[in-house]
A and B are shown apart, each in its own frame.
Chain A
Amino acid sequence: AQTVTQSQPEMSVQEAETVTLSCTYDTSESDYYLFWYKQPPSRQMILVIRQEAYKQQNATENRFSVNFQKAAKSFSLKISDSQLGDAAMYFCAYRSAGSGNTPLVFGKGTRLSVIA
């Protein structure tokens, strides 16, 4: 079974600075999808960014970008120009690329604090 590990339970960053959240995963599959979700205090999970394993180019969404290292099974999230609204729990998730809509597997999350 696939597993996702987020080794940093908590992180903090100064406003306007850059922070990187780590994620590693374990799989024997070659084709899959990776995601980062944000969960603010409102509890609603929000998709931040996704990466297809067959693409070598790292995904980017505005201030959010990933460093996808397939051989190392690493998928870190970089947040640039951090804002107070970025404070939340961040979850890394994995999904097989097989048929159907098999469930995402989530890590335990990293709580990000942004210091004004």
Chain B
Amino acid sequence: GAGVSQSPSNKVTEKGKDVELRCDPISGHTALYWYRQSLGQGLEFLIYFQGNSAPDKSGLPSDRFSAERTGGSVSTLTIQRTQQEDSAVYLCASTHRASYGYTFGSGTRLTVV
């Protein structure tokens, strides 16, 4: 596609429920990243996928967070048993060469009530 697409744009969920956030990167971009942006904070790295290699999960804050990337394209970030502290904007980005910078999506604002 022309850009990185994320859905939903906004999500309100009850504490304890599971949520899935979707990212559709730019076609041909081999690297895909998930970041979390809490209110008034910078971007916190969560996970990244590079081609067919095993993902770098070093930024995932707990085992309630997981992500997959199917067919080297679309990625889904899953948060199980959501907590209020999970409320944030989740940003996805992709690139074919990180030294050139990323292309970001518009993010999903997650609110846990």
Q: Which of B11-19, B39-47, B61-69, B71-79 touches A?
A: B39-47
Asked if A91 contacts B106 (CB within 8 A), the reply is: no
On chain B, the residues within 8 Å of A101 by CB distance are: 30-31, 48, 50, 95, 97-98
Chain B residues bordering chain A, tally (CB within 8 A): 28
Q: In this assembly, does B56 line the interface, its C-beta being within 8 Å of a C-beta of chain A?
A: yes
Q: Which of A42, A102, A107, A108 contacts B98 (CB 8 A)?
A: A102
A45 close to B99 (CB less than 8 A): no
Interface string of A30-59 (1 = CB under 8 A from B): 000101010000111111001010000000
Chain A residues, Cβ within 8 Å of B103: 47
Number of A-B contacts (CB under 8 A): 62
Among B30, B50, B99, B107, point to the contact of A95 (Cβ < 8 A): B99
User: In the assembled complex, which residues on chain A have CB atoms less than 8 Å from the CB atom of B35?
Assistant: 106
Contact A43 B106 (CB under 8 A): yes
Chain B contacts of A42 at CB under 8 A?
A: 106
**A84 contacts chain B at the CB level, 8 A cutoff:** no
**How far does the alpha carbon of A106 sit from the alpha carbon of B42 in the complex, in Å?**
6
Structural contact, A109 and B42, CB atoms closer than 8 A = yes
Bound: A95/B93 CA distance, A: 15
Q: Judging by beta carbons under 8 Å apart, are A45 and B91 in contact?
A: yes
Which B positions have Cβ atoms within 8 angstroms of A? 30-31, 33, 35, 41-43, 45, 48, 50, 56, 59, 89, 91, 93, 95, 97-107, 109
Listed A/B pairs (6) with beta-carbon separation below 8 Å: A45-B102, A46-B104, A95-B98, A101-B98, A103-B59, A108-B41
* A residues at B contact (CB < 8 Å): 33, 35, 37, 42-47, 50, 52, 91, 95, 97, 100-109
